[in-house]
Amino acid sequence: MLRLIFSDLVANARIWLGALLIAAATATVGAVVASDIQTAVAAGGNEALALYGISGTVAVFTLITALIVVGAVTDLTVTLQQRGYALWQLVGLRPGLVRLVVTAQLFVVSLLGGAVGCLLAVPLVQPLFRYAFSTSPELAGLTPTLTPAGAVPVVLFVAVVVTVGGFRGAGRAARTPPIQSLREVEPPDRRMTVARWLGGVATLLVVAAIVSTLPGTGLDTMAVPLMLISPLLAGVLAAFGPLFLARLVRAWTSLVPVTASAAWYLARNSTATNAARSTATISPLMVAVALAGGLYAANGAVGVPSGSLSTGSVVLLLGGPLLLAVLGAVATVFMSSRRRERELALITAAGGSSALVLTAAAAEAVIYVVTALLLGGSAVAVTTAIGAWAAGAWTAAGALPALTVTALALVLLLAATVLPTATALRQEVPRVLAPE
């Protein structure tokens, strides 16, 4: 079994590298938070109280982002290999053993990624701490540390999140009939599970509890709970995604007439049909938009001008979670690029031009990003409305940061979709389609 675990990891390196990257990124962000906590414990006094409050906020942002991003990536990791697991069963591997192998692979990748992420964080902790607290002499004078005692919980957290995030996919890989898996290149994943219902409802209740505490809260303390609303709402949307995501994609993309662009038509149908792949890319981007827009909307509601937020404080609060979210989206595109290349090779085989194939790839990236903007922007809009209700002042401060993150994500996703497609076009079509 050990030979199967590691040989399959090597054979599907492109897919597993995406999961490894996200595990490492999650650990790096978590290690920075752990370092802040360790520094607070060593410092004591008022400095410790300040660091506890800041690191707690960052930890909540990171936790929300990690649960959504890591869950999406690990589930996609299993989904993209569904056909291979079906072949395992056809050659005699029992379903229970398939599930055990997949779970073991997730655990191995998560441990390796967690360890790599913590090692990467070691040289980053001190310069990041100095930069983030450059305007606070009391905190800037502290010496941040990251010891093995702080790194071990981070590695274990990553291992649990990655393994649990892929547990449902591993179960699906084991119980899906092999014939069905071989017939469906990418099984649809649109059903609401008990875990999704519980997670979505629980998160919505947390949002309701936060909102109920806002009336009567002073403006000087209202910003922090307001900041949490937007990413939590993004979590609610991610949990209930199977109920509406495909319909939303079909609805807004239908605004472009079918006769206007063949490339748009192809991208539209591919995105709406391949629900698992689309969700894995859209959900992290949605969180990124909600985080950036929510932070500025919350501060704007309490009268803090956008320009008064220092770059260091923004990087400290959002840098790690935003990096994790954007990397998650790019990783999912990288992981599924071979599947996308085969789909576009079929278009070429049917007579489509290279320009059509490249435009369709670019249109798919646009659909991902705009859908994420619609969802993440709605979370920011709700945060703005709640802030206006609680603080008595409307603000549009969250709009520009949300659009900025969207523009950055679009550039990265265009590169992640178009460049591999351009490379694939240089190969002969039979060679691209042969592995399928």
**For 129-157, how does the pLDDT look when each residue is reduced to its tens digit (9 = 90+)?**
888 887 777 777 788 888 898 899 999 99
Kindly state whether residue 369 falls inside one of the protein's structural domains: yes
Q: Determine the average pLDDT of the residues in 324-338.
A: 85
Kindly state whether residue 195 falls inside one of the protein's structural domains: no
The two three-digit tokens of residue 358, written as one number: 């490249």
Same domain for 174 and 319, yes or no, is no
The two three-digit tokens of residue 206, written as one number: 């947390």
- pLDDT attached to residue 182: 57
Check if the beta carbon of residue 40 is closer than 8 Å to that of residue 95. no
Same domain for 214 and 154, yes or no, is no
User: Does residue 316 or residue 407 have the better pLDDT?
Assistant: 407
Q: Determine the average pLDDT of the residues in 375-391.
A: 93
Residue 174 pLDDT greater than 60, yes or no: yes
Q: Determine the average pLDDT of the residues in 287-300.
A: 92
Highest mean pLDDT among 173-182, 331-340, 386-395: 386-395
Give the domain extent around 289. 209-436
What is the tally of helices (H) and strands (E) in the chain?
Answer: 20, 0
Check if the beta carbon of residue 299 is closer than 8 Å to that of residue 309. yes
The two three-digit tokens of residue 57, written as one number: 């906020």
Kindly state whether residue 411 falls inside one of the protein's structural domains: yes
Check if the beta carbon of residue 24 is closer than 8 Å to that of residue 114. yes
Same domain for 179 and 309, yes or no, is no
**Residue 138 CA: distances (Å) to CA of 10, 57, 130, 142, 401:** 49, 20, 11, 7, 29
Q: Determine the average pLDDT of the residues in 333-340.
A: 76
Residue 56: CB atoms within 10 Å: 14
- pLDDT attached to residue 24: 94
Kindly state whether residue 256 falls inside one of the protein's structural domains: yes
Query: pTM for the complete prediction?
Result: 0.87
User: What span, in angstroms and rounded, lies between the C-alpha atoms of 23 and 19?
Assistant: 6
From 293, 323, 325, select the one nearest 404 (Cα to Cα): 293
- pLDDT attached to residue 292: 93
The phi-psi region of residue 39 (left if phi > 0; otherwise alpha if psi is between -120 and 50; otherwise beta) is: alpha
User: What span, in angstroms and rounded, lies between the C-alpha atoms of 105 and 167?
Assistant: 11
Kindly state whether residue 283 falls inside one of the protein's structural domains: yes
Same domain for 138 and 264, yes or no, is no
**C-alpha 109: how far from chain center:** 17
Same domain for 299 and 361, yes or no, is yes
- pLDDT attached to residue 176: 65
Same domain for 140 and 274, yes or no, is no
Same domain for 95 and 239, yes or no, is no
Residue 392 pLDDT greater than 60, yes or no: yes
Same domain for 255 and 183, yes or no, is no
Q: How many domains does the chain have?
A: 2
CB-side exposure of 157: number of CA atoms within 13 Å?
22
The two three-digit tokens of residue 163, written as one number: 């393994």
pLDDT confidence bin for 363, thresholds 50/70/90:
very high
- pLDDT attached to residue 307: 65
Kindly state whether residue 2 falls inside one of the protein's structural domains: yes
Residue 339 pLDDT greater than 80, yes or no: no
User: What span, in angstroms and rounded, lies between the C-alpha atoms of 276 and 75?
Assistant: 8
Same domain for 169 and 295, yes or no, is no
User: What span, in angstroms and rounded, lies between the C-alpha atoms of 1 and 110?
Assistant: 19
The set of residues, in sequence order, having a beta carbon less than 8 Å from that of 351 and lying 6+ positions away, is none
Kindly state whether residue 152 falls inside one of the protein's structural domains: yes
Residue 201: CB atoms within 10 Å: 13
Same domain for 61 and 135, yes or no, is yes
Q: Determine the average pLDDT of the residues in 117-126.
A: 92
Same domain for 104 and 243, yes or no, is no
The amino acid that residue 26 corresponds to is T
Q: What is the pLDDT of residues 192-230, one digit of tens each?
A: 778 889 999 999 999 999 999 988 788 878 888 999 999
Residue 59 pLDDT greater than 60, yes or no: yes
Q: Of 187, 219, 252, which residue sits at a domain end?
A: 187
User: What span, in angstroms and rounded, lies between the C-alpha atoms of 173 and 244?
Assistant: 24
Q: Determine the average pLDDT of the residues in 259-264.
A: 84
DSSP 44: -
| Residue matched to tokens 């807004």 | 252
From 232, 237, 243, 159, select the one nearest 193 (Cα to Cα): 243
Kindly state whether residue 202 falls inside one of the protein's structural domains: no
User: What span, in angstroms and rounded, lies between the C-alpha atoms of 398 and 401?
Assistant: 6
Same domain for 268 and 302, yes or no, is yes
